[in-house]
Structure 1
Amino acid sequence: MNSNLRKFVPVVVLILFLCCLGTRSTVQSVFSWPDEMNLIKGQPAQLQAAVPVQAQIQVDHPDVLQVNGSADHFTRVSLKSPVQLTPQHSGQAQLKLKLFGSIPLKTVNVHVVPDLRVFPGGQTIGVKVKSAGLLVVGHHLVKSGDNRSSVSPGEGAGIRLGDLITHINGSKVNDLALISGTIEQSGTSKKPLKVTLERNGKKVQTELLPEYDQEDRAWRLGLYVRNSAAGVGTLTFYAPDQGVYGALGHVITDMNTQTPIVVGSGEIVQSNVTSISKSESGDPGEKRANFVKESKTLGNIERNTHFGIFGKMTEEPNHSLYPKPIPVALASEVKEGPAEILTVVDGQKVQRYRVEIVHVSHQDKPATKGIVLRISDEKLIDKTGGIVQGMSGSPIIQNGKLIGAVTHVFVNDPKSGYGCFIEWMLQDAGVMLKDQQAPTSLKAS
């Protein structure tokens, strides 16, 4: 056979193969396997294809991952039946699906993590966080006199709401009061300040010349800024082997600009629920709580992501319902059906409440809105009306495993809401290998 023609044989065979598969849905099933998978050591998983053909799967590290119980590098499989994956040891393995032993169809990178066990939370926590700079939350006009109209120097310099000022004249800044002398010197000398800020994850440089406010008798930048935030949420988990925790299940944003807060420092502390404003259609309600007086710090805050806040914690907090850590479930294991959430509605006592998982989204990559749940416990409905703000982060337990956290309430149906998979929270906590994120935003609970 001519060598040039030989090159096209695999392509022709593949085209004929796809034609033989028939329906579009069947073709999609062949290529729907994820590019990346997390598996837990000792917990089997399956890949579904439902295609009536024989194929070959090559695994580069069968000591890490076995296919259909085989410890060989090459295994012949029938794609009509589910492909069984058995994670043997922690590590990484690459799985290659080939037709006729030579035509590549799909490559899956598998990360096998140790048997993960964590303490589910449910405790109400107080959250105190300082941003890594000054968050611009508004512009204000400086009345400079001299028959000139009022101006905002900051707005004139192109500084926008939601920008994070990180440096002024090359020095880190997180409190305007500490640089009042620098601002006055800039104004009197007419030498603009060199301002560095972050905008949508990018560094921006600008120059800003303060104006003298005749009413305040002080030099002003024409900016309203904020450098801290505080609130109440729920602890989701504590991982004792790694000494880390996760909470909230959603990002903390500035109340004025809805900009995610870039953490400079922060801490979580014990909190006590004093009352509940019940949820109603159109009004998500809220937990009312206060920080326990002289309570010790439970942990620090190192990251604020689309899946919550994360940091170090040295011991299990009080009021846990579990004397020992429990297993976690990966996103692929979560099923529709009964489950329970752990949360506090009075004082500091964590309680279990029945819920129903009514929808599970297929997510190969981190994304919010993975779980739709509905409160089915009449006691919780009588107390709260459903999901309320401050309940976000409440752990979701199914079949004895931690599967996720409550994140958002349906404003027009407060008995229902969204949850995120615990797998994505564990990635952001650094417990599991992290892939790419594609988050969305909703009304936080």
Structure 2
Amino acid sequence: MQQKIRKIFLSVLPFFAVFIPILLGVPQSAQALERRKLIPVGRTVGVTMDTEGLLVLETGSVVGADNESHEPSKGLLKAGDRILQANGEKQENKEAFMKTIQQSEGKPICLRLERNGRQKEVKITPVLSNTAQTYQIGAWIRDSIQGIGTVTYYDAENGTFGALGHGVYDVDTDELMVIHGGSVVDTTLTEIVKGEKGAAGELIGQVEMQEKLAAIEKNTETGIYGKAAAGVFAGESYPVATKAEVKKGAAVLLSDLEGKGVQAYAMEIESLEKNGGRQHKDMNIRIMDERLLALTGGIVQGMSGSPILQDGKLVGAVTHVTLADPTKGYGIFMENMAA
């Protein structure tokens, strides 16, 4: 029976309802990869990202002035659609889109949207809500996402960073979010909910939006990436291990959960998967450190991206927790994440 696992980027935030390149196909020698050095970071941060377009979560009904139920978006919009324009104008956020809907005064709106990689246009006629007394199209949308995660590495040579070790997927549509930017910001942890069998723990904190640390440029299946100013993520550089150099046995992960700065915690790499699949579950890992087990119960949401060191090399990052046993989880090879 396949064990249930969970990505561990998004942590609950108070007041929030709900988060160099090496070209693929171009072989690199192990010797060249070894020469690349990265700073393992392990810093817990807030992450906020803006969607490219407005993401449709679902559609529903609106009770109109006639007291009848209407579904203006039925058959026109689907969960996962991205609204790019309304009446020929780019919609920067939900507020701008709502203003466009109100200005329509019930006249049809032409929406340009993207679905499954293809663009199309639809016309939707807003309905005046009997209760809210505003025009509505019967669709729930999102324009951004926030959460807590961990910065994995910083490349002092070019000012780039990588974090999380997996992509950020929308919690409602389960699709990899297409973004047009975002920020890594400081965060203050206020609580740690310990993981238990069948229930992932989590880091709870407050995102400090005014304390911007880095700019997010990409959200991919292997993590989020961007640029940070020199000195933001300082530390000693470690050579990146190749897949062949990673081995079963003792390792350490880096995280700053105790309010004492980044600490090293003992763990084991129990097995290796040289072809970890789309989710890059390349390593099966287990937390061994008694301090960390007492603090978190194992791997919790928000620890995603914690760098893993072995034999003086940066070998990977924590990515998932196993719900059946929070002391166990998965990691991605650094060779895959930093490619």
**What TM-score, normalized by structure 2, do the two folds share?**
0.86
1:263–1:301 contact (8 Å) kept in structure 2: no
Q: Structure 1 residues 370 and 204, CA, compared in 2 at 3 Å: closer, same or farther?
A: farther
1:36–1:364 contact (8 Å) kept in structure 2: no
Q: Structure 1 residues 138 and 302, CA, compared in 2 at 3 Å: closer, same or farther?
A: same
> Which residue of structure 2 aligns with residue 153 of structure 1?
72
Cα deviation, 1:292-317, whole Å, max 9, x if unaligned, reads 5853x211011111111111112243
Give how far 1:117 is off: 0.6
CA distance in 2, matches of 1:219, 1:169: 16
> Which residue of structure 2 aligns with residue 138 of structure 1?
58
> Which residue of structure 1 aligns with residue 132 of structure 2?
216
Query: Of residues 123, 143, 149 in structure 2, which corresponds to 1:233?
Result: 149
Of stretches 220-229 and 133-142 in structure 1, the one that deviates more from structure 2 is: 133-142
1:119–1:316 contact (8 Å) kept in structure 2: no
Cα deviation, 1:215-258, whole Å, max 9, x if unaligned, reads 22222111111111111100100001121000011221223222
- Aligned to 1:122, the other structure's residue is in SS state strand
Give how far 1:398 is off: 1.0
> Which residue of structure 1 aligns with residue 227 of structure 2?
312
In structure 1, stretches of 5+ residues that fail to align are: 1-34, 44-111, 428-445
Q: Structure 1 residues 187 and 126, CA, compared in 2 at 3 Å: closer, same or farther?
A: same
Q: Does 1:38 align with 2:34?
A: no
1:274–1:347 contact (8 Å) kept in structure 2: no
> Which residue of structure 2 aligns with residue 170 of structure 1?
88
1:163–1:199 contact (8 Å) kept in structure 2: yes
1:37–1:364 contact (8 Å) kept in structure 2: no
CA distance in 2, matches of 1:389, 1:208: 39
- Choose between structure 1 and 2: higher helix proportion: 1
Q: Structure 1 residues 294 and 170, CA, compared in 2 at 3 Å: closer, same or farther?
A: closer
Cα deviation, 1:99-135, whole Å, max 9, x if unaligned, reads xxxxxxxxxxxxx558211100111011111111111
**What TM-score, normalized by structure 1, do the two folds share?**
0.66
Aligned length in residues: 316
2:193–2:204 contact (8 Å) kept in structure 1: yes
CA distance in 1, matches of 2:136, 2:75: 13
Query: Of residues 294, 314, 337 in structure 2, which corresponds to 1:402?
Result: 314
> Which residue of structure 1 aligns with residue 333 of structure 2?
421
Q: Structure 1 residues 201 and 348, CA, compared in 2 at 3 Å: closer, same or farther?
A: farther
> Which residue of structure 2 aligns with residue 201 of structure 1?
117
Query: Of residues 183, 207, 216 in structure 2, which corresponds to 1:291?
Result: 207
2:218–2:225 contact (8 Å) kept in structure 1: yes
> Which residue of structure 2 aligns with residue 127 of structure 1?
47
CA distance in 2, matches of 1:121, 1:140: 44
RMSD between aligned alpha carbons? 2.4
> Which residue of structure 2 aligns with residue 55 of structure 1?
none
In structure 2, stretches of 5+ residues that fail to align are: 1-24
Cα deviation, 1:184-224, whole Å, max 9, x if unaligned, reads 45444x4x322122223332332222122232222211111
1:196–1:203 contact (8 Å) kept in structure 2: yes
- Aligned to 2:42, the other structure's residue is in SS state coil
2:149 is matched by which residue type in structure 1?
A: G
CA distance in 1, matches of 2:319, 2:74: 35
* Higher RCO (CA 8 Å, separation ≥ 6 residues): 2
Give how far 1:338 is off: 1.1
> Which residue of structure 1 aligns with residue 275 of structure 2?
363
Q: Structure 1 residues 317 and 152, CA, compared in 2 at 3 Å: closer, same or farther?
A: same
Rg larger in structure: 1
Identity %: 38
2:238–2:312 contact (8 Å) kept in structure 1: yes
